């Protein structure tokens, strides 16, 4: 499933990158008469969006001005593998994947079939995507090898300059020690121009840009807009390099330089399209650009730089509204009071908003939202949401219009009651809510929801909502998000929530391998705390038992280097182990002498 998650991340980046590519194409038209270096610089924003999964936030982001949130592609109900709903919990049930509850009227038979097929489709698509990446990497390696093979028998005439005795256009090849390859027989003037052109490539680091662009193409090979961007990056790279040569030479060399390009085009034979080499390509357009080149005026250069700066901010940043609300900096609620009022407090309006007549506090409104979320009240969720939020929930398979009513949620896992939530933090604009989703094992996973909203008089409306499933925790930050108040006396405390005894009974009666891990303190800690099952990223080690029979289990997260000690207890004779508490430590040698 990690391959699928990676592909989903790439799809999100490809979607965002596509928007930026279209915007760059438009701005590129506006800069048609400007020096090509400015068009070339714009592609840096595209590469940033295609390759970097995170970004800074800005009030001037294009995505915020457009009133749209960034895409959020995920597998709908990826943790649900439906089978016969009549199987009892003590039979062959999946510890992490609950069976569907057919009593939920919101889940139809056709929807269940789609959920069953979706993981298969995603796995197939991810497989094809990975094969495409392997093909491109193989092609790049082969092309580089074949281009480098041309250097066999070449004569070195200068530092990193080689002459090849065959009909081939000049090109630069290499990454760490780039080499300039020239066809033999060039006259002095041609050689001077071409050497300056290729040395300009090296000085600007174009060989690294080409490598990065090819890597982006390899990851997003399925996106036609990325192919267009790759072609135009090469084109603007060459045109801007020609202009750089003419700026450095004394006098007007346009005619002589263009004649050199014409002569070279007669013998042009590119190094098998090597993605890590670049050479003469696009001779006709380069000649046209050379002949109409004029040194830019100062005011035009300043204006172009201003346009580039605006594009960097607008296209390279995310709107502030989409950032995840941190746990710090907001009003922390350690004992949220549950709202028990009646539905008479809510009056639905035509604009899909909610007027809270008697509730003046933000917390009380958040309680309405959380209770509606837990109880699958789609009408209240839709009524409190902006249209964009409704569309996002629908795209993720959570909200569905059925007749004149909205259905909400999925079959399983889900909250057992309308109080299976906790308002962790909130202020006037943002909030963090935890939901505790159950399977019939019984097993609890945590969903981390961030909300952004605004209030006009007594009208509250949710402007942005995102939900993170903390079912494969791989960092200390994620563990603290899932258990912000620790474990004792919380819904993640299996003794306190009453699920430990049922889980122990099912484990003793079941022959499933998935339950066997609960009889060892380290694997039980990993399963019940929903840690990622990857020893390279999450290292779980049990220490010697304490005097009271508890066992300290060290959890080390490789990604952020954080270390936790989880105290595991065995409250039932010869039964399963349950996590009782955990503490964070500053070093990897936290387990000492069997104490925590």
In the predicted structure, residue 59 carries a pLDDT above the cut 80: no
User: Residue 92: which of 520, 575, 523, 514 has the closest Cα?
Assistant: 514
- How much is the pLDDT for 184? 76
Task: pLDDT band for 338, please (50, 70, 90 cuts).
Answer: very low
Q: Which of 29-33, 160-164, 165-169 has the lowest mean pLDDT?
A: 165-169
Task: Give the least confident one: 48-52, 333-337, 446-450, 580-584.
Answer: 333-337
* pLDDT-derived band at 284, boundaries 50, 70, 90: confident
Question: What is residue 583's DSSP assignment?
Answer: E
Question: What does the pLDDT read at residue 291?
Answer: 82
- Predicted confidence band at 590 (pLDDT cuts at 50, 70, 90)? low
pTM: 0.50
Over residues 79-88, the pLDDT tens digits come to 332 333 333 3
Q: Residues spanned by CATH 3.10.450 within the chain?
A: 324-471
Q: Which residues of 388-407 are buried (b: 16+ CB within 10 A; e: fewer)?
A: ebbebbeebbbbbeeeeebb
Q: pLDDT category, 109, cuts 50, 70, 90?
A: very low
Instruction: Name which residue leads in pLDDT, 83 or 101.
Output: 101
The top-scoring range by mean pLDDT among 250-254, 459-463, 517-521 is 517-521
| CA–CA gap between residue 14 and residue 25 (Å, rounded) | 16
352 — pLDDT class (breaks 50, 70, 90): very low
Look at residue 221 in the predicted model and tell me its pLDDT. 93
pLDDT given at position 320: 57
What is the rounded CA–CA span in Å between residue 140 and residue 132?
12
| Cα angle 576-581-584, degrees, rounded to a multiple of 5 | 130
Judge whether 57 and 322 are in contact, CB under 8 Å.
yes
Q: What pLDDT does residue 313 have?
A: 86
User: Which secondary structure element, helix H or strand E, spans residue 317, and what is its range?
Assistant: strand 317-319
In angstroms, the Cα distances linking 312 to 230, 308, 315, 412, 520 are 19, 6, 6, 43, 53
pLDDT at 447: 94
Who contacts 178 (Cβ-Cβ below 8 Å, separation ≥6)?
160, 172, 201, 202, 207
Task: Specify burial of residue 219 (Cβ count, 10 A radius: 0-12, 13-18, 19+).
Answer: buried
Q: Which CATH topology does 324-471 take?
A: Nuclear Transport Factor 2; Chain: A, (3.10.450)
Find the radius of gyration of the CA atoms of the chain.
30
**Beta strand 443-456 with 430-439: parallel, antiparallel or unpaired?**
antiparallel
């Amino acid at each position: 499933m990690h391959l699928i998650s990676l592909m989903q991340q790439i799809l999100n980046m490809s979607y965002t990158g596509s928007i930026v590519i279209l915007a760059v194409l438009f701005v590129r038209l506006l800069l048609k008469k400007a020096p090509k270096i400015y068009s070339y610089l714009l592609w840096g924003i595209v590469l940033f969006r295609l390759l970097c999964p995170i970004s800074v936030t800005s009030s001037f982001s294009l995505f915020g001005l457009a009133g749209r949130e960034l895409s959020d592609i995920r597998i709908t109900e990826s943790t649900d593998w439906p089978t016969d709903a009549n199987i009892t919990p003590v039979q062959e049930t999946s510890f992490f994947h609950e069976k569907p509850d057919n009593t939920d009227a919101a889940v139809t038979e056709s929807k269940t079939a789609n959920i069953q097929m979706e993981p298969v489709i995603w796995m197939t698509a991810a497989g094809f995507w990975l094969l495409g990446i392997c093909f491109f990497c193989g092609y790049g390696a082969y092309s580089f090898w074949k281009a480098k093979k041309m250097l066999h028998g070449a004569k070195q005439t200068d530092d990193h300059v080689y002459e090849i005795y065959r009909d081939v256009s000049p090109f630069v090849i290499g990454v760490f020690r780039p080499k300039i390859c020239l066809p033999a027989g060039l006259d002095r003037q041609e050689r001077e121009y071409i050497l300056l052109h290729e040395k300009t490539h090296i000085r600007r680091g174009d060989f690294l840009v080409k490598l990065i662009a090819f890597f982006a193409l390899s990851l997003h090979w399925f996106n036609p807009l990325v192919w267009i961007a790759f072609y135009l990056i090469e084109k603007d790279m060459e045109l801007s390099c020609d202009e750089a040569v003419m700026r450095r030479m004394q006098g007007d060399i346009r005619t002589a330089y263009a004649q050199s390009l014409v002569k070279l085009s007669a013998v042009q034979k590119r190094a098998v399209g090597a993605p890590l080499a670049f050479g003469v390509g696009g001779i006709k357009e380069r000649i046209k650009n050379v002949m109409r080149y004029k040194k830019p005026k100062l005011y035009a250069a300043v204006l172009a730089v201003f346009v580039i700066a605006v594009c960097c901010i607008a296209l390279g940043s995310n709107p502030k509204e989409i950032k995840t609300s941190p746990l710090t900096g907001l009003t922390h609620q350690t004992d949220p009071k549950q709202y028990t009022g009646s539905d008479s407090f809510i009056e639905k309006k035509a604009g899909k908003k909610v007027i809270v007549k008697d509730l003046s506090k933000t917390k009380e409104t958040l309680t309405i939202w959380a209770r509606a979320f837990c109880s699958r009240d789609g009408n209240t969720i839709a009524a409190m949401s902006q249209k964009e939020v409704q569309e996002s929930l629908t795209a993720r398979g959570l909200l569905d219009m059925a007749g004149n009513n909205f259905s909400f949620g999925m079959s399983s896992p889900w909250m057992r009651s309308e109080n299976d939530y906790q308002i962790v933090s909130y202020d006037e604009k943002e909030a963090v809510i935890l939901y505790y989703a159950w399977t019939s094992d019984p097993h609890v996973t945590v969903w981390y929801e961030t909300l952004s909203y605004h209030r006009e008089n007594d009208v509250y409306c949710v402007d942005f909502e995102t939900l993170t499933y903390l079912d494969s925790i791989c960092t200390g930050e994620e563990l603290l998000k899932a258990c912000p108040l620790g474990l004792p006396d919380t819904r993640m405390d299996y003794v306190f929530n009453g699920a430990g005894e049922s889980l122990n009974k099912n484990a003793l009666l079941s022959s499933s391998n998935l339950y066997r891990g609960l009889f060892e303190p380290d694997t039980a800690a990993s399963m019940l705390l929903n840690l990622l099952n990857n020893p390279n990223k999450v290292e779980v080690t049990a220490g010697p038992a304490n005097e009271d029979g508890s066992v300290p289990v060290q959890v080390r997260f490789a990604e952020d280097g954080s270390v936790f000690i989880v105290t595991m207890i065995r409250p039932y004779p010869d039964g399963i182990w349950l996590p009782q508490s955990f503490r964070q430590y500053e070093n990897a040698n936290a387990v000492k002498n069997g104490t925590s």
